Amino acid sequence: MEAAILRVRGLAAGYGPVHALSSVSLEVPDGAVTAVLGGNGAGKSTLLRAISGTLRFQGGAITGGTIEFAGERLDGRNAARVVAAGVVQVPEGRQVFARMSVADNLRAGALGARHGRRGEQEARERVFGLFPVLAERVHQRAGLLSGGEQQMLAMGRALMARPRLLLLDEPSLGLAPMMAARIADTIREINDQGTAVLLVEQNAALALNLATRAVVLETGTVALSGTAAELAASDEVRRRYLGVGDEDAAADAEAGIRAEHDHSDGHPTLRRWVA
Amino acid sequence: MTTFLELLITGISLGSVYALIALGFVIIFKSTEVVNFAHASLLLAGGYFAVVSRDTLGFWPALLVGIAGAALLGMLLEFLIIRRYRGRDHSVLAIVTIGIDIVLITELARRIGPEIFSYRDPWGNTLVQLGPVSIPQTRVAAFVVAGALITVFLLAFRYTSWGVAMRAAAEDRGTAALMGVRLGWISASAWAVAGALAAVAALFLSVFPTTGLDRETGLIALKAFPAAIIGGLDSTTGALAGGLIVGVTQSLATGYQSELSFLGNGIGDLAPYLVMVVVLLIRPAGLFGTRELSRV
Ligand SMILES: Nc1ncnc2c1ncn2[C@@H]1O[C@H](COP(=O)(O)OP(=O)(O)OP(=O)(O)O)[C@@H](O)[C@H]1O
Ligand SMILES: [Mg+2]
């Protein structure tokens, strides 16, 4: 296993009187996909916001612990410094700049990185390679894109900063299974190109299939952690995140999301987690 | 007909100056969601810096001093005061800017006293003949300069990285921060640009046919407030349209005052506010705006 690029130790965070995270520790290996699973309100988004330095925009703050990226402390840094360090977050719900064109959204993504004009051009080519549809829609207003296209734009925009670590908050949220599978393929491709990924998902089957390691958050603490295969095989994860007593879903998670393309009978491989 | 043309051209020239002020107002609102009631004092400060350095430096350098001074003052206000209230309620921030305005206006009025400062600008009271109508050269200069500045600003807003950052921050501050946009600089630069534009406006509000800059000059900037509201507080296009509407309305209403005398005296100064009320009744967010003032 490769060395950890991100180390979170004893992290606590909250929104005023609301404690959202307490003593969360996890490591993200370089060059791999790490998944964070958990139900609604478990603290997944809070964890990503703490790393990206944007808690204060939601009225939150880190109250304890440390976040270390490539040997550099990130906790207490402002969002711009975190981006400059090479960590970029794609927010939950995509949050593209709806009134700006696709091209300007991508430009906005490059604002925080200091890679110069050449770097920006290279990043744009990489993004268009991953998401050809963005190249076709480059002059269109982002608000007019479909949900799936907006997710691609949100990811492309983040890649414009050429991050070493990409934080993804529920990229499959609200997408049809086919589109979710395509996003999953792209995440794998991005990772293959050398970008480490910390993937927050409620779609456990999708996430465990992509990740090498995973943690499960429950009410703000790490309840389980291990390799993706271990978690996919664990009773608790099968029961709570891969569908109650549903052997199929768990089996699908292990068999791989790609197999889903062969299922033309509409069998629901991509299952939403239900409380 | 000649009168009408003259009034129209005067109105457009005046309107372009109001547009400069309204634009600054809109930039600050868009990027920081602050309704800046200190804008009038920023304008007066820019004018004051220029006229007091006029004798030693000459006209053009003094104008630059005024522009730089107002830009710096705007930035300073943002750094020292506005920044501390970030994240607070918008009405709190609006009240803070009213406080700043009172302090600045009081201090400037004390310094200016009863005097009227002349810019002693290169245009003087010369008239230019445009076909059948004769227009003061200052009005032509105002239109040309304001038009050029507005064009430069809009191009920058559209094409430069600064513009992209401003627009991103205007749409969603939190997401812009995720992109590594430095919101503090965005906010400070908005205040600086607004100050600089206001200082240029101060010049054209003080030259012929006006006698010069006095402590009341800032009050004229208040007419740009209806301009910004008519256009829509969060729309740069709206600021331009609003400025022109206010300028032309005011000019025509003043010119035809005698015919409009049934509406009472001083209709020229009142007309822009009447237009504002009518526009707000029909479109609460202004002509081009997306946000209503009540939601501010
Ligand atoms: N802006 C906020 N103000 C106050 N409390 C918040 C805020 N955002 C989140 N919380 C609380 O913090 C806890 C963790 O929320 P968080 O958004 O991190 O959960 P999540 O795991 O991302 O959930 P979901 O899957 O629904 O997105 C929840 O109890 C939530 O109510
Ligand atoms: Mg969330």
Contact A170, A201 (CB under 8 A): yes
- Which residues of B touch chain A, with CB atoms under 8 Å apart? 87, 161, 164-165, 167-168, 171-182
Closest residue by CA, ligand 1 atom 31: A41
Beta-carbon separation of B161 and A157 below 8 A: no
Residue B267: band (very low, low, confident or very high) from pLDDT cuts 50, 70, 90? confident
Ligand 1 first shell, C-beta below 6 A? A 15, 18, 20, 38, 40-46, 58-59, 92, 202
What separation in Å is there between the alpha carbon of A45 and the centre of ligand 2? 4
Across the strands, what pairs with B44? none
Contact B71, B195 (CB under 8 A): yes
Q: Rounded to an integer, what distance in angstroms lies between the CA atom of residue B92 and that of residue B296?
A: 11
Mutate which of A19, A22, A36, A45 for ligand 1? The one with the most ligand atoms within 8 Å of its CB, which is: A45
* Run of H or E residues at A198: strand A196-201
Residue B295: band (very low, low, confident or very high) from pLDDT cuts 50, 70, 90? very low
Q: Which atom of ligand 1 is nearest to the CA of A46?
A: 18
Candidates A97, A99, A162: best to mutate against B (most CBs of B within 10 A) is A97
Q: Would A258 be classed as within a structural domain? A: no
Instruction: Kindly tell me if the per-residue pLDDT of A185 is higher than 60.
Output: yes
Among B171, B174, B179, select the one facing A111 at the smallest CB separation: B179
Q: Check residue A268 and give its pLDDT.
A: 43
pTM for the model stands at: 0.87
The three-state secondary structure class of B260 is coil
Question: Which CATH number characterizes residue A85's domain?
Answer: 3.40.50.300
Q: Check residue A2 and give its pLDDT.
A: 61
Beta-carbon separation of A108 and B174 below 8 A: no
Closest residue by CA, ligand 1 atom 5: A15
**In this prediction, what percent of chain A has a pLDDT beyond 90?**
70
The three-state secondary structure class of A69 is strand
Q: How many residues does chain B have?
A: 296
Contact A249, A260 (CB under 8 A): no
Task: Considering every ligand atom shown, identify the ligand nearest to the alpha carbon of residue A59 and give its number.
Answer: 1
Q: How far is A237 from chain B (nearest CA, A)?
A: 32
Q: How far is A76 from chain B (nearest CA, A)?
A: 15
Count of structural domains, chain A? 1
Q: Check residue A32 and give its pLDDT.
A: 93
Among B161, B175, B182, select the one facing A91 at the smallest CB separation: B175
What is the number of other CB atoms lying within 10 angstroms of the CB of residue A38?
Answer: 26
Q: Which atom of ligand 1 is nearest to the CA of A14?
A: 12
Q: Give the CA radius of gyration of chain B.
A: 19
Instruction: Kindly tell me if the per-residue pLDDT of A265 is higher than 50.
Output: no
Q: How far is A48 from chain B (nearest CA, A)?
A: 11
Q: Which two tokens stand for residue B17?
A: 């100056």
For residue range B179-230, what is the model confidence (pLDDT) as tens digits?
Answer: 999 999 999 999 999 999 999 999 999 888 888 888 888 888 788 888 988 9
Domain membership of residue A139 as a residue range: 4-247
Q: Check residue B63 and give its pLDDT.
A: 94
Q: Rounded to an integer, what distance in angstroms lies between the CA atom of residue B77 and that of residue A161?
A: 32
Q: Would A263 be classed as within a structural domain? A: no
Q: Check residue A80 and give its pLDDT.
A: 93
Q: Check residue B263 and give its pLDDT.
A: 64
Residue of A220 and A113 predicted with greater confidence = A220
Beta-carbon separation of A97 and B173 below 8 A: no
Q: Would A235 be classed as within a structural domain? A: yes
Q: Check residue B269 and give its pLDDT.
A: 78
Pick from A201, A129, A193, A199: nearest CA to A162: A193
Q: Which two tokens stand for residue A197?
A: 């990924």
Rounded mean pLDDT, A84-89: 95
Token pair 């430095």: residue: B182
Mutate which of A11, A15, A55 for ligand 1? The one with the most ligand atoms within 8 Å of its CB, which is: A15
Q: Which two tokens stand for residue B122?
A: 């290169």
Peptide bond into B209 cis (omega under 30): yes
Pick from A52, A54, A153, A36: nearest CA to A94: A153
What is the per-residue DSSP string for B102-141?
HHHHHHHHHHHTT--B----TTTT-EEEETTEEEEHHHHH
Q: Check residue A258 and give its pLDDT.
A: 43
What separation in Å is there between the alpha carbon of A234 and the centre of ligand 1? 26
All structural domains of chain B with their residue ranges: 2-219
Beta-carbon separation of A58 and B87 below 8 A: no
What separation in Å is there between the alpha carbon of A173 and the centre of ligand 2? 10
Beta-carbon separation of B167 and A99 below 8 A: yes
Query: Tell me, what DSSP letter sits at residue A3?
Result: P
Residue A247: band (very low, low, confident or very high) from pLDDT cuts 50, 70, 90? low
Beta-carbon separation of A108 and B164 below 8 A: yes
- From A163, which residue of chain B is nearest by alpha-carbon distance? B179
Instruction: Kindly tell me if the per-residue pLDDT of A251 is higher than 70.
Output: no
Phi, psi of B61 (to 5 degrees): -60, -35
Question: What average pLDDT does chain A have?
Answer: 87
For residue range B68-122, what is the model confidence (pLDDT) as tens digits?
Answer: 999 999 999 999 988 888 777 778 888 999 999 999 999 999 998 888 888 888 8
* B164: chain A residues, CB-CB within 8 Å: 100, 104, 107-108, 111
Q: Which two tokens stand for residue A244?
A: 């109650």
For residue range A45-81, what is the model confidence (pLDDT) as tens digits?
Answer: 999 999 999 998 888 999 999 999 998 999 989 999 9
Q: Rounded to an integer, what distance in angstroms lies between the CA atom of residue B126 and that of residue B113?
A: 29
Q: Check residue B286 and give its pLDDT.
A: 85
Q: Would A237 be classed as within a structural domain? A: yes
Pick from B110, B100, B109, B204: nearest CA to B148: B204
Q: Where are the alpha helices (DSSP H) in chain B?
A: 2-32, 39-57, 59-80, 90-112, 137-159, 161-171, 173-178, 183-206, 217-220, 224-231, 236-255, 267-282
Q: Rounded to an integer, what distance in angstroms lies between the CA atom of residue B191 and that of residue A214?
A: 46
Q: Rounded to an integer, what distance in angstroms lies between the CA atom of residue B33 and that of residue B60?
A: 34
Q: Would A260 be classed as within a structural domain? A: no
Residue of B218 and B165 predicted with greater confidence = B165
Residue of B257 and A192 predicted with greater confidence = A192
Q: Would A252 be classed as within a structural domain? A: no
Terminus-to-terminus CA distance in chain A, angstroms?
34
Residue of B55 and A160 predicted with greater confidence = A160
For residue range A187-244, what is the model confidence (pLDDT) as tens digits?
Answer: 999 999 999 999 999 888 899 999 999 999 999 999 989 998 888 888 777 877 776 4
Residue A131 backbone zone (phi > 0: left; psi -120 to 50: alpha; other: beta): beta
* A120: chain B residues, CB-CB within 8 Å: none
**In this prediction, what percent of chain B has a pLDDT beyond 70?**
95
Q: Rounded to an integer, what distance in angstroms lies between the CA atom of residue B10 and that of residue B247?
A: 8
Residues measured by CB to lie within 5 Å of ligand 2, the ion: A 45, 92
Pick from B259, B242, B273: nearest CA to B25: B242
